[in-house]
Structure 1
Amino acid sequence: MLRRYSIMAAGFLALVLGGLGAMVFFAPDRGQFAQCRETAIAGGSGAIGGPFTLTDHTGAQVTEADFADRPVLFYFGYTFCPDVCPYDLARNAEAVYTLTERGYEVTPVFISVDHQRDTLEGLAEFVSFMHPDMVGLTGTEQQLRDAARAYRAYYAVQDTEDEFYLIDHSTFTYLNLPGHGFVELFRREATPDQMADRVACFIDNA
């Protein structure tokens, strides 16, 4: 467990990056889902999201089209993350459990930006621990860069030879809906119940 929880400073840095990202992404906006948003999205929801080609934790190649038929919560991170990613993904999983109890089917997806260390076997173990329906995705460095760019997600591998290197990354969770694509960003301070309420609002108004 040392590899995942040895250096706690990454959590603070990722939180700061997430907060900085919020200032970049949010601005006045109105639309179909305005009543579901805490703050509107700069440029509209169409400015975020797009095509990607990645590999899921079973080894199958997938694209954005494989997730277009259901509500999906995307999160970019890595399994060696000391505390931020496990916390955020556990929060997402709890929100999905709550939504399931209310009759909503939502798929949590974890996109690992650590293609060098996050093997398919390790990724499969990680996502199954978080939620039985969570999908783990990875890919080549270029594929991950393309996916992150599409969602305006930031990540940067620290320049070091230490095998326990950290990756700085933004901490948003992205909600996609069938027929709409990306519709909302959730910041990490959102609680599971708050997230569940807002996701349900988006689904009801889709």
Structure 2
Amino acid sequence: MTRLQKGLWAAVAVAALGAGGLAVTVSRAPEVATSGASSVAAEFELTGHDGVVRTEEDFRGKWTLVFFGFTNCPDICPTTLAEIAQVMDDLGPQAGAVQPLFISVDSDRDTPMELAEYVPQFHPSILGLAGTPEQIEAAAASFKIFYERVPEEAAPDGYTMGHASQVFLFDPDGGFVRLYGNGTPAPEITADLRARIDAHG
């Protein structure tokens, strides 16, 4: 499937700011609220699709884009990954200052091997991360994101995953910077990243 085909898939989740916190509409799941942005952190120990165990410390020194999803996701995940791929292409030489991460919330199906077949189709710079149910739960808790297994007869293995649809941005010191809501156009993300990279020096 081409990037153009992926890009034609309409995103069905819309991130919105809600009173008292950040509210998101997730694929096949109810709207939920996360806690305040000040409590968001990137803390994890997961296995990359290259077979290497990674923690958040491995990405210090780079701006980090983080998105949660799963390989059997029919719409939000491929659309967002295609947008991130476009951002990395558009950044040109500045792309070296950015590391995109795709963390799977589907620990039963998404092994590092599965991610190795899926993630590089979008862009070689995106790193897929997989883990045990306990590792994924711990990572999601640090990011304050929602996900759940949702029964669906028509889906592979009879279930899909509801999950938060924002893209997180962390600075080179690992500090949380902002969320890009689902559907944020690639040019808008690129422009924001360019300004931050330039300002950071």
* TM-score, normalised by the number of residues in structure 2: 0.79
Say if 2:49 is the partner of 1:57. yes
Give 1:200's aligned amino acid. R
Distance 2:93 2:50 in 1: 27
State the match for 2:68 in structure 1. Answer: 76
Q: Is the 8 A contact 1:104 1:200 kept in 2?
A: no
Q: Is the 8 A contact 1:76 1:171 kept in 2?
A: yes
State the match for 1:38 in structure 2. Answer: none
Distance 2:96 2:194 in 1: 7
Question: Do the aligned partners of residues 94 and 146 (structure 1) sit closer, same or farther apart at CA in structure 2, a change above 3 Å counting?
Answer: same
State the match for 1:135 in structure 2. Answer: 127
CA RMSD of aligned residues (A): 2.3
Q: Is the 8 A contact 1:99 1:105 kept in 2?
A: no
Give 2:22's aligned amino acid. F
Distance 1:198 1:52 in 2: 26
Residue 102 of structure 1 deviates from its aligned partner by 5.3
Q: Is the 8 A contact 1:73 1:175 kept in 2?
A: yes
Give 1:191's aligned amino acid. P
State the match for 2:197 in structure 1. Answer: 203
Residue 126 of structure 1 deviates from its aligned partner by 1.0
Question: Do the aligned partners of residues 107 and 47 (structure 1) sit closer, same or farther apart at CA in structure 2, a change above 3 Å counting?
Answer: same
Corresponding residue pairs, total: 177
State the match for 1:98 in structure 2. Answer: 90
Distance 2:95 2:135 in 1: 34
Gaps of 5+ in 2: 2-10, 24-34
What is the identity percentage for the equivalent residue pairs of Structure 1 and Structure 2? 34
Residue 119 of structure 1 deviates from its aligned partner by 2.0
- Show CA shifts across 1:141-188 (max 9, x none): 111111111111111011468604111111000111112522110012
* TM-score, normalised by the number of residues in structure 1: 0.77
